[in-house]
């Protein structure tokens, strides 16, 4: 069972673009159209948000998209059905991002099995403590060849960064500042933080997220990492234009 995310980093680790979208947004049936449109427009990987009523790491834009998706009737089960329906068309690595509570309700062993069957490469669960992952759930991720991606912030201690690196496969998600998504700009003041991470010689590649919304911030992030993650700015673009292909094409042109 191949892991597309790990394969990608084996061949490419510069200027990688990861775009976040919310499953079931703007419409319940939009998920695959959005993924394929991102793929067509040259995105290297797609992070698909599993809608949740209390997305604590997310700002207003992504929270609002979560509520729209939930009101549309989006569920984890439906997401897996959608991904399975397009498994032969999706060539880019798919990463699922969500929160622990819905995954536990679904059943974490079943979740990992179904994710792998649906062609998912990696999982991000920001509120899953590292010790719980290590002691309770790691085996299910390993059994299904799923990358587990930890988040770190400017406040994360060196010890915890090294722990996160040890547990993660695929990449480490470096949050540019201790805030929610979409609420900051990536400035030069983060240089010290990124250089500190670089000096640790981590085994995993770094992807930087939060505060990246245009070519300037994307290029700045790529100076310090393998690439960057963009979410809120793309969700805004989808909200403004009901033509997904048009919205995606225009948006990616502002990044690359």
Active-site residue numbers?
47, 58
Query: Which candidate, 139, 89, 79, places its Cα nearest to that of 114?
Result: 79
Q: Which two tokens stand for residue 88?
A: 């032969």
Query: For residues 236, 239, 240 and 245, what is the CA-based torsion angle, rounded to 10 degrees?
Result: 100
Q: How far apart are CA 251 and CA 238, in angstroms?
A: 9
Q: What's the sign of the alpha-carbon dihedral 180, 225, 196, 162? A: positive
Adjacency order of strands within the sheet including 45-49: 147-148, 122-124, 94-97, 45-49, 16-22, 227-230, 205-209, 171-175, 151-152
Assess contact for 230 and 213: CB atoms under 8 A. yes
CB 168 within 8 A of CB 132: no
- The residue assigned the tokens 């225009």 is 250
Q: How far apart are CA 95 and CA 58, in angstroms?
A: 17
Six-digit token string for 161: 């960064």
């Amino acid at each position: 069972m191949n892991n597309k995310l790990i394969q990608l980093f084996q061949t490419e680790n510069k200027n990688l673009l990861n775009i976040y979208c919310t499953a079931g947004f703007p419409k319940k049936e939009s998920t695959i159209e959005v993924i394929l449109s991102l793929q067509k427009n040259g995105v290297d990987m797609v992070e698909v948000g599993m809608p949740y009523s209390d997305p604590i790491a997310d700002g207003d834009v992504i929270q609002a998209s979560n509520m729209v998706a939930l009101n549309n009737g989006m569920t984890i089960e439906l997401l897996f059905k959608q991904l399975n329906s397009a498994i032969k068309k999706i060539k880019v690595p798919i990463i699922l991002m969500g929160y622990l509570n819905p995954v536990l309700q679904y059943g974490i062993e079943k979740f990992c099995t179904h994710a792998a069957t649906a062609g998912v490469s990696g999982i991000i669960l920001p509120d899953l403590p590292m010790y719980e992952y290590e002691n309770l759930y790691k085996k299910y991720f390993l059994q299904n060849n799923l990358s587990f991606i930890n988040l770190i912030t400017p406040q994360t201690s060196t010890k915890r960064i090294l722990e996160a690196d040890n547990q993660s496969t695929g990449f480490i998600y470096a949050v540019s500042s201790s805030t929610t998504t979409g609420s900051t700009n990536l400035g030069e003041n983060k240089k010290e933080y990124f250089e500190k991470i670089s000096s640790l010689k981590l085994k995993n590649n770094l992807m930087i997220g939060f505060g990246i919304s245009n070519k300037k911030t994307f290029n700045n992030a790529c100076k310090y990492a393998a690439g960057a993650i963009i979410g809120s700015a793309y969700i805004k673009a989808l909200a403004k234009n009901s033509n997904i292909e048009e919205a995606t094409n225009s948006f990616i042109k502002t990044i690359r």
